[in-house]
Amino acid sequence: MANLPIAAGIVRPLGSIASNAGQKVALSATSAQTAAPVAANMVFLKSDIACFVLSGSNPTAVVDTCFPLPANQLVGPFAINNGDKIAGIALAAGNLWVYPCQ
């Protein structure tokens, strides 16, 4: 979890992962998106393979033009519009996990 210094030694979390609210997206050479819209304004993302991601109401991820996400690292939080979906694409099979923040 990322932390933002507030004042003289006080630290507050930027966002925490909402329990039991994550979604898994199967990645391949074709763009795929979350099955349900994400009910949050921020998300953390993790993939077991390097991929490219995009958010929107009906996003289509494209290799080399969308945001690159490294393999095996929890990245974020990313600001999205509440109700957006997250799309991902990779050069091989893998999985993308989308975790909404509270």
Q: How confident is the model at residue 5 (pLDDT cuts 50, 70, 90)?
A: very low
CATH tag, 16-100: 2.60.120
Question: What gap in Å lies between CA 87 and CA 43, rounded to an integer?
Answer: 13
Asked if 27 and 95 count as a contact pair (C-beta separation under 8 A), the reply is yes
Does the structure show a pLDDT above 50 at 22?
yes
Q: What is the pLDDT of residue 34?
A: 97
* 56-72 pLDDT tens trace: 999 999 999 999 999 99
pLDDT higher at 27 or 7: 27
Q: Where are the domains of the chain?
A: 16-100
Check whether 8 has a pLDDT greater than 70. no
66-91: per-residue pLDDT in tens?
999 999 999 999 999 999 999 999 99
CA dihedral 49, 54, 56, 59 (to 10 degrees): -80
Residue 9 has pLDDT above 80, yes or no: no
Strands of 67-69's sheet in order across: 32-33, 85-89, 51-56, 67-69
State the pTM of this model: 0.82
